[in-house]
């Protein structure tokens, strides 16, 4: 452990408000950047107390310990009918916890219901409130924006692209930009990179994985033995499979469905190029995951995109396909690269919390 990560004593109490949280320590696919952040923050600031309210998931109402952090699952189950009850439960519970152990900072995730309740609680408990914008909460479809964008809460974006989108929508500047961080991964250089193209993510229209299929179809004309894997699940999965079947691409594309994060990392260490055709990202944590596992990336200018020799940014769909096809015959660098150190993220949030 270097000097930047030495244990630091802090006596404050941070209350995290989030729509979802891992139901146990094995649940590694539930908001991975939040998981990694809390584990790192707790390891550095050992005396800071962290409590978590999970509004919607897990679906069972309970109190439990997660890696030494107290979690209160409110089990909203994404039910509109239960929403107000969940909010009332959160308010009553927060006041009780505050009486027992004074809350110094409320940190809400997504500019949504958690930020709305966090804003109310910060006034009642007389504490600081910060909100991290996570993704599509900066879209005009987010009804909470009109209720919250003029409030006093401190707004954190996870990328400049996201901050710019929020300004276009609200004419309000973000207070800070703090990237998500990731730990470096042990990469086994003896593993053969036998997967040419890997896609990882939620299979929804916004992620644009129909371009993954179109790209594979074009590339296979030149590289008939092309090996592609698309990992993830979502409403687009049946449609994408049907397109691949109709185009006779199933011998070249494997659809894994939902798999855990450890297995995702194993796939990444076997893969050459991450194909991420998403039309929008708040941050794009999959970019950080791919880089620390030695992959190269082709994407559009979304999320926390970087100009780097391992990251290729396409201007349009045709450019995306051409870049990727050219890379398939190029000599690529598979060395791990981490531009998003996790300790740096934790330190930056500590400054925002004001726990110095």
Distance separating alpha carbons of residues 327 and 299, to the nearest angstrom: 13
In Å, how far from its chain's centre is CA 80? 24
Quick one: which H or E segment has residue 155? Answer: strand 154-157
> What does the DSSP 8-state code read for residue 353?
H
C-beta atoms surrounding 5 within 10 Å: 15
Judge contact between 274 and 198, C-beta under 8 A: yes
276-280 contacts, C-beta under 8 A, 24 or more apart: 276/199, 276/200, 276/201, 277/199, 277/207, 277/208, 277/209, 277/211, 277/212, 277/215, 277/320, 278/201, 278/206, 278/207, 278/208, 278/302, 278/303, 279/206, 279/207, 279/208, 280/135, 280/136, 280/206
Could you write out the three-class secondary structure of 156-211?
Answer: EECCHHHHHHHHHHHCCCCCEECCCCECCCCCCCCCCCCEEEEEECCCCHHHCCHH
CATH 3.40.50.2000 fits 3-181+341-353, yes or no: yes
The sheet that has 253-257: what strands, in order across it?
253-257, 228-231, 195-200, 271-276, 296-299, 311-313
Torsion angle in degrees (nearest 10) through CA of 129, 174, 288, 40: -20
Distance separating alpha carbons of residues 39 and 69, to the nearest angstrom: 9
Domain 3-181+341-353 and domain 195-327, same fold? Reply is yes
Tens-digit pLDDT string for the chain (356 aa): 444 444 444 569 999 999 999 999 999 999 999 999 999 999 999 999 999 999 999 999 999 999 999 999 999 999 999 999 999 999 999 999 999 999 999 999 999 999 999 999 999 999 999 999 998 888 888 899 888 866 789 999 999 999 999 999 999 999 999 999 999 998 888 889 999 999 999 999 999 999 999 999 999 999 999 999 999 999 999 999 999 999 999 999 999 999 999 999 999 999 999 999 999 999 999 999 999 999 999 999 999 999 899 999 999 999 999 999 999 999 999 999 999 999 999 999 999 998 54
CATH code that applies to domain 195-327: 3.40.50.2000
| Angle, helix 32-44 to helix 342-353, in steps of 10 degrees | 70
Q: What per-residue confidence (pLDDT) applies to 9? A: 43
Q: What per-residue confidence (pLDDT) applies to 354? A: 86
Q: What per-residue confidence (pLDDT) applies to 246? A: 97
Sequence spans of domains, the chain: 3-181+341-353, 195-327
Nearest to 20 by CA among 140, 136, 183, 134: 134
Distance separating alpha carbons of residues 5 and 355, to the nearest angstrom: 16
Distance separating alpha carbons of residues 201 and 165, to the nearest angstrom: 22
Q: What per-residue confidence (pLDDT) applies to 6? A: 47
Q: What per-residue confidence (pLDDT) applies to 188? A: 84
Scanning the structure block, which residue is given the tokens 């979690």? 71
Q: What per-residue confidence (pLDDT) applies to 150? A: 67
Scanning the structure block, which residue is given the tokens 């962290």? 50
């Amino acid at each position: 452990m270097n000097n930047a990560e030495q244990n630091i004593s802090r006596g404050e109490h941070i209350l995290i408000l989030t729509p979802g949280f891992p139901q146990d320590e094995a649940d590694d696919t539930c908001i991975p950047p939040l998981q990694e952040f809390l584990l790192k923050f707790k390891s550095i600031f050992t005396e800071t107390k962290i409590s978590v309210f999970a509004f919607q998931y897990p679906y069972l109402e309970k109190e439990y310990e997660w890696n030494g952090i107290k979690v209160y699952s409110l089990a909203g189950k994404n039910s509109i009918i239960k929403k107000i009850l969940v909010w009332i439960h959160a308010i009553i519970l927060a006041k009780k916890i505050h009486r027992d152990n004074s809350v110094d900072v409320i940190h809400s995730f997504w500019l949504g219901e958690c930020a709305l309740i966090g804003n109310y609680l910060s006034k009642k408990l007389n504490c600081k409130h910060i909100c991290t914008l996570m993704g599509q909460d900066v879209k005009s479809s987010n009804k909470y924006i009109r209720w919250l964008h003029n409030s006093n809460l401190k707004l954190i974006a996870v990328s400049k692209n996201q901050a710019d989108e929020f300004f276009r929508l609200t004419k309000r500047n973000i207070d800070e930009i703090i990237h998500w961080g990731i730990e470096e991964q042990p990469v086994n250089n003896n593993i053969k990179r036998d997967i040419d193209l890997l896609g990882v993510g939620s299979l929804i229209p916004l992620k644009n994985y129909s371009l993954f299929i179109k790209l594979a179809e074009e590339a296979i004309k030149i590289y008939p033995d092309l090996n592609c894997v698309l990992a993830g699940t979502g409403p687009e999965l049946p449609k994408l499979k049907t397109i691949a079947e109709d185009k006779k691409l199933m011998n070249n594309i494997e659809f894994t469905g939902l798999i855990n994060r450890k297995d995702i990392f194993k796939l990444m260490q076997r893969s050459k190029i991450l194909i991420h055709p998403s039309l929008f990202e708040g941050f794009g944590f999959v970019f950080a995951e791919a880089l620390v596992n030695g992959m190269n990336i082709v994407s559009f200018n979304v999320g926390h995109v970087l100009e780097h020799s391992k990251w290729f940014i396409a201007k349009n769909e045709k450019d995306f396909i051409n870049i990727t096809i050219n890379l398939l015959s190029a000599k690529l660098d598979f060395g791990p690269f981490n531009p998003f150190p996790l300790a740096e993220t934790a330190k930056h949030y500590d400054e925002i919390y004001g726990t110095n």
